[in-house]
Amino acid sequence: MPLTFELCPGRTIGGDHPCFIIAEIGQNHQGDVEIAKKMIKMAKDCGADCAKFQKSELEYKFSKRALERPYDSKNSWGKTYGEHKRHLEFSHEQYRELQKYATEVGIFFTASGMDEMAVEFLHKLNVPFFKVGSGDTNNFPYLEKTAKKGRPMVVSSGMQSMETMRQVYKTVKKHNENFAILQCTSAYPLEPENVNLRVITEYQKEFPDIPIGYSGHESGINISVAAVALGAKVIERHITLDKTWKGSDHAASLEPSELTELVCSIRLVERALGSRVKRMLPCEKPCHDKLGKSVVAKVKIPKGTVLTLDMLAVKVAEPMGVAAQDIFRLVGKTVVEDVEEDESVTPEVVDSYGKKAKC
């Protein structure tokens, strides 16, 4: 069974524990704290476990030239990429305000630390776990420093190879056993043929002692629900209040009704996954009593006859006789009473049926 650990206070993931659902607000808040609060409340109301943001210290994440480059996209909030990112980046004080609000509404709060200084801030903020975005998954100095903080980690794997993920696993595991890896493809929105849900099962084979999850950027909820059916223990999806808003992530995000449906569908699938033990359930007994088949006499069988297979048939019978699956056990046994044609062959009329041989 995969390792289980407490991702957030009182909330364990892995094994047979419920899937942990992360509502990724990211930067879909338009740079507005009040919109961000509405999105936190939306995540809570829709049943998600955690509201997540993206925190950057821009001078540590980007080079000067990267921040100075022109940015004339329809999604731009400024003339340069730096102006655009500064519009969307909340201050430390605003993060404390959002964290306080999330606590008030009763939902876990965290963020992806998009650079090492952002991780330092989030550590001081005392977030329950660190999220590693795909852009930093192969950033091994960052991974090592983050793992050494000792907080649980959730690591996305977009843009990476299996060989890189093996190295990621070894790097984090050396310093921190409490982490999960998410299958992810970094495209927005993501086409179904590029999702590769089968990677989830490959990760389960490669890393059997950690929970595996899924971070999705596709439209709709069906693929994410399928990921849970494959055993995903963490699901992360971007959310929005309006898919038409400015920003490249909105088209791949879930609106409130979709997030609600996703949560409900995941919980339904978890109920349906049920037990690993195959047996007849109590709920099946009425159907079995009405339509379950058992052994009957194909011909009249006189008392003292040694049974052969051609004397027996399987039918829905009244009363029920020997169970259909046991027909071969009757061959070679002797009947102790006459059995009329089409009558049930009950255990009582067969000598030593079901009895253990004496030593």
**b/e sequence 175-199, b meaning 16+ C-beta within 10 Å:** bbebbbbbbbbbeebbeeeebebeb
Residue 149: which region, alpha, beta or left (left: phi > 0; alpha: psi -120 to 50)?
A: alpha
Which structure tokens are listed for 272? 């349906």
Do the Cβ atoms of 314 and 324 come closer than 8 Å?
yes
pLDDT band at 2 (very low <50, low <70, confident <90, very high): low
Do the Cβ atoms of 38 and 241 come closer than 8 Å?
yes
Q: What percent of the chain has pLDDT over 70?
A: 98
Q: Is the pLDDT of residue 128 over 70?
A: yes
Output the CATH code of domain 5-273: 3.20.20.70
* pLDDT at position 129: 98
Q: Is the pLDDT of residue 359 over 50?
A: no
DSSP 52: E
Q: Is the pLDDT of residue 196 over 70?
A: yes
Q: Hey, where are the domains in the chain?
A: 5-273, 282-351
Do the Cβ atoms of 16 and 4 come closer than 8 Å?
no
Average pLDDT, whole number, for the chain?
96
Output the CATH code of domain 282-351: 3.90.1210.10
Q: Is the pLDDT of residue 358 over 80?
A: no
Do the Cβ atoms of 113 and 156 come closer than 8 Å?
no
